[in-house]
């Protein structure tokens, strides 16, 4: 990488070698850190359709999915903090969403179109304030054998009401 | 009327900016200083013009002119006036105006200084500042106009336009949507302006850096001139980041403070290069090294600032922060690309002029350790940048979107942050030019022993987590070394001058504000590190459904549920407020009131935790649910967050340290106390015109 050359201009023989080696070692360490952790920490970002298509392959793997929350399906047990709800398929690509009329519209359509794929979700924890009908849920978790998506992290977007700077809700 | 005034001022400001750019270049070409002066006046004229725009928006917001789309989107009747004013930066187009406003204010402040010594730099500083400003103005005018209004056209369509479409009528809604309740928090009100102040202030050193490149000046004048700008920019950016974390901690109710979301990363990245820059400019000042590197760092910082302002709004990356997307994406990438190409071309042209005046010889010298510091900061930047754009890269290469979560960032940056902590302890002890293990060891062994005592204490206290040992051990090491440095300086001065210790300490820091301010900033960063380690490593949580009189224990605390009340508040909220008693070791400590507010206007609930905050730990209670009729039982989620308060305390110490470091230094020590004072005043006034 360039930095070392930049920093050690006009090296004279001998004296600068140790800096080059030292710098190279640090850069190598950083590259190694990024490389190994990317491999270990990578999560597929899937749509509901993709997850269902590739269910066998994705079983037990940590993945990230997004979908439209079906308001009627929200069921929260306040004794155990177990939260159940279902999400319907929405396109994963921003361009597709914009082309289809914007996120709010796409979410509204998804919730009201029974022909779309849906996945039941289970999550344990505090029910986020933004969880409601036609919100977009972005979840990290694993698909179980029973066809339920067990979410470990649940983030929500509600574009219908607040177009501007809506913050995340996380658990 | 007001809309037209504000919009008109914006357009004039844009034209004036273009005029300023052209005249500055012409004046420089023809060596005609009158033209440059005219450009300077143009620069200064943008500020009152954009002020008119900003005040117009504020008037519309406060008066509740809901026919204006922006006003409709970010305010409502129920909001108090101060929130209506701060709604100026509550949405995208308003915050861009706010950005441009700050930018023009800062650039004006720069052009007001005396330029006698640096006449050659002036036109280029004006050009770079005005190009940045003009870019923002055209973005606002073309894509993000905050003055667009709702119209009902002749054929019955609702539309949004700046000027009245033929045959249409103005629609005036009775009430607006209002600012999202989650954003109605003091931290969230101050957080965006702080970030923007930081972002905008970094444009100034960039403008000077570019001016130095264009004129081919080899000295470090541009760095000296903008040193304070850089430090102040860095401070505001730091405050912005800390306030954002604080807001997340207070409002989002998950007991966390940072999620490595693209939006957060976008603000964090310029901070990283900015911090590296703050350190490496010192090497250029002292030793004449790293000239090219400093230029590269300030270019990167500027590009990251622009990227940070637009990235998440461009729709390229998906973030859980659902910022409104707009058409500004392509134009903004074009701007970044052009800036990058021009900067790099300039850098290459001047590459030979920017050769170092010497070279490094000792691995343990201050400059060498600073070099490692820079590599680590840039390494963290690489991690964060890689993680942020990885979904794009993976989709490009494999057609499959793959993201990396917080564990990626934590594992990759953890060792790098640990390295930085270690450097923070060692580097201040090393000397410029040459250091050896022997001299370093001599200065280090006492703090090292004190650190060992702390580590043994932790082990006896039952700590077993290796990360905690490493992190807290390094933190203790830096604290001891820094305090020891203060002590050594203070004692030496006390012996030499006979001043008492306190006086010696104050004068010591006063004589070398940059150095001791820097130490205080280091201490503040360590305090923040302790807070972060505390919550990351030691956080525990529990949840329980409690009937009245029942209790649950966590982290040595006992929480007893007493009662719950539901009532309406006249600002449009319904509040469910629980009363719980908190005990520790059987001793009553007081009551907490976790609550749930429901905002009628936006139909949104908001969870507000009850927090008992001490230097040792936070007890953080969330009201999850309650039985509405009987009010007998309620469910709580409780977090125990050790040491988290040090994160916020560190933020306050950081401000203090920055002020000390940015305050003008007295130039020389003068033996007599009286003349000392006078001299001080003189140099300060001299420096403040700097």
| Residue with tokens 């200064």, as numbered in its chain | B44
Between B165 and B272, where is the model more confident?
B272
B304 dihedral zone (left: phi>0; alpha: psi -120 to 50; beta):
alpha
Tokens of B184: 């109605």
Smallest Cα distance from A101 to chain B, Å: 12
Tokens of B281: 């400019």
Q: Do residues B230 and B205 lie in contact, with contact meaning Cβ atoms separated by under 8 Å?
A: yes
**Candidate from A23, A79, A170 with C-beta closest to B254:** A170
Q: What is the ipTM metric for this complex? A: 0.79
- Which residues of chain A are within 8 Å of residue B408 when distances are taken between CB atoms? 37-38, 40-42
Would you kindly state where each structural domain of chain B is located, as residue ranges? 1-179, 216-317+324-351+358-432, 433-537+649-688, 540-646
Tokens of B154: 């002749």
Name which of A81, A78, A132, A76 is nearest A108 in CA terms. A132
Residue B592 is given by DSSP the state: E
Predicted pLDDT at A15: 66
Asked if A26 reaches chain B (Cβ–Cβ under 8 Å), the answer is yes
| Residue with tokens 């396109």, as numbered in its chain | A91
Maximum average pLDDT range among A97-106, B99-108, B164-173, B212-221: B99-108
Would you kindly state where each structural domain of chain A is located, as residue ranges? 2-41, 44-157
Dmax (CA) for chain A in angstroms is 74
A-chain residue closest to B602, CA distance = A161
* Three-state SS sequence of B405-426: CHHHHHHHHHHHHHHHHHHHHH
Smallest Cα distance from B363 to chain A, Å: 7
Mean predicted confidence (pLDDT) in B558-578: 89
- Rounded Cα distance, B318 and B311, in Å: 10
A107's enclosing H/E stretch is: helix A103-112
Q: Is the pLDDT assigned to residue B354 strictly greater than 90? A: no
Name which of B40, B138, B41 is nearest B97 in CA terms. B138
Among B24-28, B226-230, B416-420, B629-633, the least confident range: B629-633
Q: Do residues B93 and B137 lie in contact, with contact meaning Cβ atoms separated by under 8 Å?
A: no
Q: Do residues B71 and B150 lie in contact, with contact meaning Cβ atoms separated by under 8 Å?
A: no
B540-646: which CATH topology? Tick-borne Encephalitis virus Glycoprotein; domain 1 (2.60.98)
Buried b (16+ CB within 10 A) or exposed e, B468-479: bbbbbbbbbbbb
SS3 label, residue A78: coil
Predicted pLDDT at A6: 44
B399 dihedral zone (left: phi>0; alpha: psi -120 to 50; beta):
left
- Rounded Cα distance, B307 and B314, in Å: 10
Helix residue spans in B498-625 (DSSP H): 501-511, 513-538
Q: Do residues A65 and A154 lie in contact, with contact meaning Cβ atoms separated by under 8 Å?
A: no
Q: Are the beta carbons of A125 and B253 separated by less than 8 Å? A: no
B660 Cβ partners below 8 Å, 6+ apart?
Answer: B509, B513, B516, B517, B520
Q: What is the pLDDT of residues B358-401, one digit of tens each?
A: 777 788 888 889 999 999 999 999 999 999 888 888 888 888 88
CA-to-CA dists, residue B593 to A106, A170, B545, B575, B622, angstroms: 39, 22, 16, 11, 9
CB atoms within 10 A of CB A75: 11
- Rounded Cα distance, B393 and B408, in Å: 16
Judge residue A11's burial from the number of C-beta atoms within 10 Å of its C-beta, 0-12 exposed, 13-18 middle, 19 or more buried: middle
- Rounded Cα distance, B286 and B360, in Å: 12
CB atoms within 10 A of CB B586: 6
The CATH superfamily assigned to A44-157 is Nucleic acid-binding proteins (2.40.50.140)
A-chain residue closest to B627, CA distance = A78
Please, what is the average pLDDT of chain B?
Answer: 86
Residue B580 is given by DSSP the state: E
SS3 label, residue B267: helix
Q: Is the pLDDT assigned to residue A160 strictly greater than 50? A: no
| Residue with tokens 């996380």, as numbered in its chain | A170
Give me the percent of chain B exceeding a pLDDT of 90. 47
Asked if A61 reaches chain B (Cβ–Cβ under 8 Å), the answer is no
Asked if A27 reaches chain B (Cβ–Cβ under 8 Å), the answer is yes
**Candidate from A9, A64, A159 with C-beta closest to B403:** A64
Q: Are the beta carbons of B545 and A42 separated by less than 8 Å? A: no
Pairing of strands B604-608, B595-599: antiparallel
- Rounded Cα distance, B148 and B282, in Å: 48
Tokens of B417: 């942050």
**Candidate from A33, A140, A169 with C-beta closest to B412:** A33
How many CB pairs below 8 A link A and B? 199
Q: What is the pLDDT of residues B421-458, one digit of tens each?
A: 999 988 888 888 777 888 888 888 889 999 999 999 99
- Residues β-bridged to residue B547: B633
Predicted pLDDT at B680: 42
Smallest Cα distance from B329 to chain A, Å: 12
- Which residues of chain A are within 8 Å of residue B625 when distances are taken between CB atoms? 76, 78, 127
Predicted pLDDT at A48: 92
Residues B470, B476, B482, B487: is their CA dihedral positive or negative? negative
Residues B268, B272, B273, B278: is their CA dihedral positive or negative? positive
The helix-helix angle for B186-215 and B291-310 (nearest 10°) equals 140
**Alpha-carbon torsion angle A151, A155, A160, A164, nearest 10:** -170
- Rounded Cα distance, B684 and B201, in Å: 22
Name which of B320, B263, B303, B228 is nearest B662 in CA terms. B228
Tokens of B299: 């270019």
B40 Cβ partners below 8 Å, 6+ apart?
Answer: B20, B111, B122, B126
CA B435, chain centre distance (Å): 35
**Candidate from B91, B261, B383 with C-beta closest to A34:** B383
SS3 label, residue B330: helix
- Residues β-bridged to residue A82: A77, A124
Of the pLDDT bands very low, low, confident and very high (cuts 50, 70, 90), residue A158 is: low
- Rounded Cα distance, B501 and B299, in Å: 44
Residue B559 φ/ψ, nearest 5 degrees: -115, 120
- Rounded Cα distance, B132 and B109, in Å: 16
SS3 label, residue B524: helix
Asked if A3 reaches chain B (Cβ–Cβ under 8 Å), the answer is yes
A-chain residue closest to B608, CA distance = A129
Between B678 and B44, where is the model more confident?
B44
Of the pLDDT bands very low, low, confident and very high (cuts 50, 70, 90), residue A84 is: very high
- Residues β-bridged to residue B158: B152
Tokens of B362: 């000792």
SS3 label, residue A38: helix
Smallest Cα distance from B323 to chain A, Å: 4
Name which of B314, B351, B318 is nearest B335 in CA terms. B314
Predicted pLDDT at B124: 94
Q: Do residues B578 and B607 lie in contact, with contact meaning Cβ atoms separated by under 8 Å?
A: no
Q: Do residues B276 and B375 lie in contact, with contact meaning Cβ atoms separated by under 8 Å?
A: no
- Which residues of chain B are within 8 Å of residue A99 when distances are taken between CB atoms? none
Pairing of strands A118-124, A149-157: parallel
Q: What is the pLDDT of residues A109-150, one digit of tens each?
A: 888 898 999 999 999 988 888 888 888 898 989 998 888 999
Q: What is the pLDDT of residues B648-657, one digit of tens each?
A: 999 999 999 9
CB atoms within 10 A of CB B273: 25
Mean predicted confidence (pLDDT) in A96-104: 75
Q: What is the pLDDT of residues B181-208, one digit of tens each?
A: 777 778 778 888 899 899 999 999 999 9
- Rounded Cα distance, A49 and A116, in Å: 9
CA-to-CA dists, residue B346 to B220, B342, B353, angstroms: 17, 6, 11
Of the pLDDT bands very low, low, confident and very high (cuts 50, 70, 90), residue B43 is: very high
- Rounded Cα distance, B233 and B197, in Å: 7
Among A61-65, B236-240, B590-594, the least confident range: A61-65
Q: Taking the CA atoms of chain A, what radius of gyration do you get in angstroms?
A: 23
First-to-last C-alpha distance (Å) of chain A? 39
């Amino acid at each position: 990488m360039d930095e070392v050359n930049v920093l050690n201009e006009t090296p004279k023989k001998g004296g600068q070698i140790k800096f080059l080696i030292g710098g190279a070692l640090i850069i190598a360490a950083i590259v190694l850190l990024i490389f190994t952790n990317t491999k270990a920490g990578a999560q597929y970002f899937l749509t509901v359709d993709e997850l269902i298509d590739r269910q066998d392959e994705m079983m037990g793997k940590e993945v990230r999915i997004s979908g439209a929350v079906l308001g009627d399906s929200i069921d929260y047990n306040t004794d155990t903090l177990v939260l159940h709800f279902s999400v319907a398929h929405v396109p994963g690509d921003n361009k597709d969403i914009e082309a289809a009329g914007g996120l709010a519209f796409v979410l509204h359509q998804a919730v009201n179109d029974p022909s779309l794929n849906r996945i039941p979700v289970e999550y344990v924890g505090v029910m986020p304030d933004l969880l409601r009908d036609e919100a977009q849920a972005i979840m990290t978790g694993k698909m179980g054998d029973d066809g339920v998506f067990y979410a470990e992290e649940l983030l929500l977007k509600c574009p219908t009401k607040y177009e501007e700077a809506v913050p995340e809700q996380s658990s | 009327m007001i809309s037209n005034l504000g919009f008109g001022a914006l357009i004039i400001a844009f034209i004036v900016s273009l005029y300023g750019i052209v005249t500055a270049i012409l004046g420089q070409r023809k060596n005609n200083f009158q033209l440059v002066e005219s450009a300077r006046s143009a620069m200064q004229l943008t500020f009152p013009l954009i002020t008119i725009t900003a005040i117009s928006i504020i008037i519309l917001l406060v008066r509740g002119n809901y026919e204006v789309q922006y006003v409709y989107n970010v305010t409502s009747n129920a909001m108090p006036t101060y929130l209506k004013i701060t709604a100026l930066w509550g949405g995208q187009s308003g915050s861009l105006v706010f950005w441009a406003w700050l930018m023009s204010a800062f650039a004006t402040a720069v052009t007001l200084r005396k330029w006698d010594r640096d006449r050659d730099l002036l036109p280029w500083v004006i050009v770079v500042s005005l190009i940045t400003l003009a870019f923002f103005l055209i973005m606002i005018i073309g894509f993000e106009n905050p003055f667009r209004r709702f119209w009902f056209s002749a054929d019955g369509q609702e539309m949004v336009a700046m000027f009245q479409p033929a045959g249409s009528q103005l629609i005036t809604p009775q009430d607006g949507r209002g600012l999202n309740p989650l954003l109605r928090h003091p931290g969230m009100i101050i957080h965006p302006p702080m970030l923007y102040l930081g972002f905008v202030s970094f444009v100034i050193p960039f403008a000077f850096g570019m001016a130095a490149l264009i004129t081919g000046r080899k000295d470090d004048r541009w760095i000296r001139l903008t040193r304070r700008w850089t430090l102040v920019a860095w401070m505001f950016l730091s405050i912005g980041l800390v306030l954002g974390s604080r807001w997340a901690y207070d409002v989002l109710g998950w007991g966390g403070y940072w999620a490595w979301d693209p939006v957060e990363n976008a603000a964090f990245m310029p901070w990283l290069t900015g911090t590296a820059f703050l350190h490496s400019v010192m090497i250029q000042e002292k030793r004449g090294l790293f000239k090219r590197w400093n230029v590269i760092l300030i270019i990167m910082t500027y590009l990251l600032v622009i990227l940070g302002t637009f990235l998440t709004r461009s729709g390229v990356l998906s973030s859980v922060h659902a910022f409104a997307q707009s058409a500004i994406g392509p134009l903004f990438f074009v701007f970044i690309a052009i800036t990058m190409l021009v900067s790099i071309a300039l850098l290459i042209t001047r590459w030979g002029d920017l050769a170092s005046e010497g070279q490094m010889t000792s691995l343990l010298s201050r400059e060498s350790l600073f070099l490692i510091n820079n590599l680590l900061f840039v390494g963290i930047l690489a991690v964060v940048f890689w993680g942020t754009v990885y979904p794009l890269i993976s989709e490009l290469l494999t057609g499959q979107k793959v993201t990396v979560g917080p564990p990626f960032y934590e594992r990759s940056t953890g060792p790098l942050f640990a390295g930085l902590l270690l450097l923070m302890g060692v580097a201040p002890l090393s000397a410029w030019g040459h250091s050896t293990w022997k001299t370093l060891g001599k200065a280090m062994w006492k703090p090292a022993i004190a650190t060992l005592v702390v580590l043994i204490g932790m082990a006896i206290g039952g700590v077993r987590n290796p990360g905690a040992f490493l992190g807290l051990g390094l933190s203790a090491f830096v604290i001891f070394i820094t305090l020891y440095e203060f002590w050594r300086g203070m004692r030496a001065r006390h012996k030499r001058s006979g001043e008492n210790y306190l006086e010696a300490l104050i004068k010591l820091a006063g004589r070398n504000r940059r150095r001791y301010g820097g130490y205080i900033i280091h201490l503040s960063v360590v305090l923040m590190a302790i807070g972060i380690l505390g919550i990351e490593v030691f956080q525990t949580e529990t949840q329980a459904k409690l009937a009245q009189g029942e209790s649950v224990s966590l982290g040595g605390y006992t929480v007893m549920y007493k009662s719950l009340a539901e009532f309406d508040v006249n600002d449009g909220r319904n509040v469910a407020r629980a009363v719980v008693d908190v005990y520790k070791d059987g001793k009553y400590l007081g009551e907490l009131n976790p609550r749930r507010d429901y905002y009628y206007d936006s139909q949104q609930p908001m969870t507000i935790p009850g927090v008992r905050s001490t230097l040792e730990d936070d007890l953080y209670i969330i009201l999850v649910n309650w039985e509405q009729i009987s009010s007998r039982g309620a469910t709580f989620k409780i977090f125990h967050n050790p040491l988290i308060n040090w994160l916020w305390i560190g933020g306050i110490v950081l401000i203090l340290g920055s002020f000390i470091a940015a305050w003008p230094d007295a130039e020389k020590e003068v033996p007599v106390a009286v003349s000392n004072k006078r001299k001080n005043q003189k140099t300060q006034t001299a420096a403040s015109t700097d």
